[in-house]
Amino acid sequence: MAKPCVGYLFSYEIFSKNHQSTYLRSEWEFISMADELLRLNGIYKSFAGVRALQGVDLTIERGKINCLVGENGCGKSTLIKIIAGVYKRDAGEIIINGKEYEDLHPIDAIREGIQVIYQDFSLFPNLTVAENIALNEELANGRRLVSWRNVNRIAKDALAKVEVDIPLKARVEEMSVANKQLIAIAKALRQNAQLIIMDEPTSALTEREVSTLFSVIRRLQKQHGIAFLFVSHKLNEVLEISEKMIVMRNGRVVSSGDRSEYDNARLIFEMTGRRITEKSYDFTPDLNQPPLLRVEGLSAEKVLNDIQFELRRGEIVGVTGLLGSGRTQLALALFGMLPTDNGRVYIDEEEVVITSPQDAIQHGIGYVPEDRLTEGLFLEQSISNNVVVRIIDRLRNSMGLLQTRQVKEQANYWVEALSIKTSDPELPVKTLSGGNQQRVVLAKWLASKPRLMILNGPTVGVDVGSKEELHEMIKHLAGEGMGILLISDDIPELLQTCNRILLMRRGHISEEILPKETNENELSAKLIEE
């Protein structure tokens, strides 16, 4: 076993100056052994010399809802896998239900009632709901033959505990993400779960689905005494559901304690180790210049209704609205991906017709889609290939062949300019974290020097620190004269980044709001009012 590295004690001391560390100690003394479901002492774990966990201490009590927050790469996932027995720790103690485990295997964790629901849910899309719920149990019982009656009984029983109504005979692939999650929970319950660990459970859920999930979680906690460990970086949700907070940074638990001691600002501070203060974006229009983009009466059947607005050089205009308000459709229409029935679009006061992405690109419009993984990037391809894909024509020599040196120069330039964290631009994009992938998408568009960038949810799934850096980058681009249309439902993001916000409702721009004249609460209230 590797010994804890002495060098890290130094940085630990810095953190212990924060008041919460003392709290951490005293809390342990009060927890009686009987309430303790899981205790980790000084867990260390390295991968090929990179320290992922550096002495994690953690306790989880029975029947409590815990939230584990931290930026990407802080060691959350590694920690979960150590608790689940998937990874072996290098050093430290794991005590589950009062029993110390020298060598924790996945099967031990399951027997002790620890269930992990991964982001992909580990469900079989091609099998029925009933079978998905019952399969693990049947397998664990060493059955060789399938009793369909038994399968249905198990599934019915499990879904009754969750108190949701999901058709047993339907295939899982037909289910929404929210239902898949409930199925995964039902499956976990059948295996005598004491502690359910959920990895980023809300990342693909709508607001209503999140509240259903939360009520299910609360009920299971109350009626069955099940503890939860919620891993997330959505701070507002974390603050809503949790009873106990656990914050990780750089492979350590830097702070933990009762929910009541935390608010948004403190969580951000603990996660990033610095105070993040974003200044709002100031913009004074130069009225002598024509607007960069002017949209008049833009309509598309059922989704867009008489859209009218202007956008000037250097402006960051936010577009917000609930799902279904038409905010994404507006972007798609401007980028030529959604046919419109009516309306005119002017660029520099010259009318343009955009019926395909090619047209839009020709007029200097760039679009960073919401789902960068499927629409914005070639994940298997290298970072540098992704960066130059939009300008590949410009990098050809007279023979029509690609000039590899120029490709490299471009890639290196953008990797540096957007501080994309990678050891080598030739590595595939999928090796990057979410925030860095988003930068590659940006780089790809910036390389082609667009005049108008449409950004759809640019910081979805990006953690707090990177988010701030992306915002700064967006402001910088606007400062250099690019026009930016920022589509988002992240209210703080809109207020901090935009100089104007367009609120959409049922395909129509219902209001124009100036960030200076509103605040978070007012804007969220406006967002949901009918």
CA distances from 369 to 220, 377, 453 (A): 37, 10, 11
Provide, rounded to whole angstroms, the least separation between the CB of residue 200 and another protein: 17
Helix or strand or coil: residue 342? Answer: strand
Can you tell me the distance from the alpha carbon of 299 to that of 395, in angstroms, rounded to the nearest whole number? 38
Q: Which of 179, 255, 256, 328 binds another protein (CB under 8 A)?
A: 328
Provide, rounded to whole angstroms, the least separation between the CB of residue 145 and another protein: 6
| 380 near another protein, judged by CB under 8 A | no
Question: Which positions from 300 through 319 interact with another protein, judged by CB under 8 A?
Answer: 302-303
Strand-pairing partners, residue 89, are: none
Provide, rounded to whole angstroms, the least separation between the CB of residue 500 and another protein: 25
Can you tell me the distance from the alpha carbon of 117 to that of 250, in angstroms, rounded to the nearest whole number? 24
Nearer to another protein, 28 or 148 (CB): 148
Provide, rounded to whole angstroms, the least separation between the CB of residue 126 and another protein: 3
| 145 near another protein, judged by CB under 8 A | yes
Nearer to another protein, 197 or 477 (CB): 197
Nearer to another protein, 12 or 124 (CB): 124
Q: Of 49, 91, 53, 20, which is closest to residue 267 (Cα–Cα)?
A: 20
Largest Cα–Cα distance in the chain? 79
CA distances from 529 to 327, 369, 428, 523 (A): 16, 27, 44, 10
Can you tell me the distance from the alpha carbon of 448 to that of 328, in angstroms, rounded to the nearest whole number? 23
Provide, rounded to whole angstroms, the least separation between the CB of residue 78 and another protein: 17
Number of residues that bind another protein (CB under 8 A): 23
| 375 near another protein, judged by CB under 8 A | no
HEC string of 146-214 equals CCHHHHHHHHHHHHHHHCCCCCCCCEHHHCCHHHHHHHHHHHHHHCCCCEEEEECCCCCCCHHHHHHHH
Nearer to another protein, 106 or 479 (CB): 106
Binding letters toward another protein, positions 256-295, x by CB under 8 A: ----------------------------------------
| 208 near another protein, judged by CB under 8 A | no
Helix or strand or coil: residue 51? Answer: strand
Residues 31, 64 contacting (CB under 8 angstroms): no
| 329 near another protein, judged by CB under 8 A | yes
Nearer to another protein, 82 or 253 (CB): 82
Q: Which of 2, 31, 146, 392 binds another protein (CB under 8 A)?
A: 146
Provide, rounded to whole angstroms, the least separation between the CB of residue 106 and another protein: 8
Question: Which positions from 17 through 56 interact with another protein, judged by CB under 8 A?
Answer: none
User: 212: buried, middle or exposed (CB in 10 Å: 19+, 13-18, 0-12)?
Assistant: middle
Residues 477, 446 contacting (CB under 8 angstroms): yes
Question: Which positions from 105 through 144 interact with another protein, judged by CB under 8 A?
Answer: 120, 122-127, 131, 135-136, 138-140, 143-144
| 224 near another protein, judged by CB under 8 A | no
Interface residue list for another protein (CB under 8 A): 120, 122-127, 131, 135-136, 138-140, 143-146, 302-303, 323-324, 328-329
